[in-house]
């Protein structure tokens, strides 16, 4: 039986504000500083016969990330020549910046193995029945052109599947596999590029094949892998305070707004934020950084606009 889903609140928990401020004031450890907003805004144009799946694939981005950022566009029949905003600006997740960092709800992998500024890779993640795991791991066994030994649980759902699928175009593991620790889960390619940026696996993490091959070559075994779950990230850019919100795909966050308020209170920035802009950014969860306030001594600018 699945655990009960926590309640979800689309509004700021203003009633809890005094308690959150008191908790922030009594915190023992100094809060982690704000992450910088990285990347640049970018866009693409819809081509003849494009869907937003095609745009996401062409740009090697996640499908859900593209559609959420463009709610005004028809997903399946957008007009040729329409501008598609791309999710190419981001706030890194909280926590250590080393090895591979995966933030499950945003369906992205941050690769810190090549330097201090991460390279991003779009992911397909587990569905609600078979969610992607969380925790601290290391890269385990790696395989080129892997054979997929079909788990009995999947064969029970799909009795047409054979016990094993050899390497080739029908193999859902794609051309490369990296084991997550000593588990049965892995980071791998795919024979279905349309599944990237969606809840489409039995718990593994899928990448576009060409990107998986590139990642595979530069990530050795024993590389740290952290799988986290952060729906709201807070960062800064040119004196502005920015929020990047993502859907709670597994319904694990009781109140994302309260969490954001507490984080801002710990940083001493709560009074620098426009509550309406913060509430709207979290409620809409577009997956792009939105300016919601200004750091001390920063010039005032309009809030609730994408980073630029």
The DSSP code sequence of 129-158 is: SSPPP-EEEEEEEEEES--EE--HHHHHH-
Q: Are residues 220 and 124 in the same domain?
A: yes
Whether 305 is in a domain gets the answer no
Q: Residue 274: its pLDDT value, please?
A: 97
Q: Are residues 285 and 238 in the same domain?
A: yes
Q: Residue 146: its pLDDT value, please?
A: 96
Q: Are residues 173 and 116 in the same domain?
A: yes
Q: Residue 165: its pLDDT value, please?
A: 87
CA atoms of 94 and 152, how far apart (whole Å): 37
Closest CA to 106 of 293, 289, 298, 308: 289
Whether 148 is in a domain gets the answer yes
Q: Are residues 183 and 104 in the same domain?
A: yes
Whether 83 is in a domain gets the answer yes
Whether 304 is in a domain gets the answer no
CB 167 within 8 A of CB 145: yes
Q: Are residues 188 and 159 in the same domain?
A: yes
Of 228, 250, 277, which residue is a domain's last?
228
Beta pairing partners, 201? 126
Instruction: Rounding to the nearest 10 degrees, give the CA dihedral for residues 194, 195, 199, 200.
Output: 130
Whether 8 is in a domain gets the answer no
Beta pairing partners, 243? 234, 290
CB 270 within 8 A of CB 261: yes
Q: Residue 305: its pLDDT value, please?
A: 55
What three-state secondary structure class fits 20? helix
Domain of residue 65: give its range.
42-87
Whether 161 is in a domain gets the answer yes
Q: Residue 7: its pLDDT value, please?
A: 41
Q: pTM for the complete prediction?
A: 0.87
Task: Report how many domains make up the chain.
Answer: 3
Q: Are residues 189 and 247 in the same domain?
A: no
CB 129 within 8 A of CB 215: no
Q: Are residues 209 and 251 in the same domain?
A: no
Going residue by residue through the chain (308 aa), what tens digit of pLDDT does each one get? 333 444 444 445 545 555 555 554 444 555 678 999 999 999 999 999 999 999 999 999 999 999 999 999 999 999 999 999 999 999 999 999 999 999 999 999 999 999 999 999 999 999 999 999 999 999 999 999 999 898 888 888 888 888 888 999 999 999 999 999 999 999 999 999 999 999 999 999 999 999 999 999 999 999 999 999 999 999 999 999 999 999 999 999 999 999 999 999 999 999 999 999 999 999 999 999 999 999 997 665 555 555 54
Distance of CA 284 to the CA centre of its chain: 15
The CATH number of the domain where 69 resides is what?
3.10.350.10
């Amino acid at each position: 039986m699945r655990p009960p889903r926590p309640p979800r609140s689309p509004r700021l928990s203003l009633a809890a504000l005094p308690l959150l401020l008191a908790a922030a004031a009594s915190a023992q450890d100094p809060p982690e500083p704000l992450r910088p907003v990285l990347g640049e805004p970018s866009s693409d144009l819809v081509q003849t016969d494009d869907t937003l799946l095609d745009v996401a694939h062409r740009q090697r981005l996640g499908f859900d990330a593209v559609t959420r950022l463009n709610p005004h566009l028809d997903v399946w029949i957008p007009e040729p020549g329409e501008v598609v905003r791309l999710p190419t600006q981001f706030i890194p997740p909280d926590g250590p910046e080393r090895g591979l960092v995966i933030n499950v709800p945003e369906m992205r992998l941050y690769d810190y193995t090549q330097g201090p500024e991460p390279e991003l890779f779009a992911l397909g993640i587990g569905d609600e029945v078979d969610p992607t795991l969380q925790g601290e791991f290391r890269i385990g066994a790696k395989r080129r052109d892997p054979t997929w030994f079909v788990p009995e649980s999947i064969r029970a759902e799909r009795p047409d599947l054979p016990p094993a699928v050899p390497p080739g175009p029908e193999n859902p593991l794609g051309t490369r596999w990296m084991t997550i620790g000593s588990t049965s889960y892995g980071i791998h390619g795919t024979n279905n590029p349309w599944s990237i940026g969606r809840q489409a696996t039995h718990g593994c993490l899928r990448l576009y094949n060409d990107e998986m091959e590139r990642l595979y070559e530069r990530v050795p075994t024993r590389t740290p892998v952290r799988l986290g779950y952060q729906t709201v990230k807070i960062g800064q850019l040119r004196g502005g305070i920015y929020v990047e919100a993502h859907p709670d795909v597994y319904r694990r966050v009781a109140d994302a707004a309260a969490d954001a308020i507490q984080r801002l209170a710990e940083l001493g920035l709560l009074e620098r934020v426009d509550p309406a802009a913060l509430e709207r950014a979290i409620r809409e969860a577009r997956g792009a950084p939105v300016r919601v306030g200004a750091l001390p001594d920063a010039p005032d600018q309009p809030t609730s606009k994408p980073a630029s």
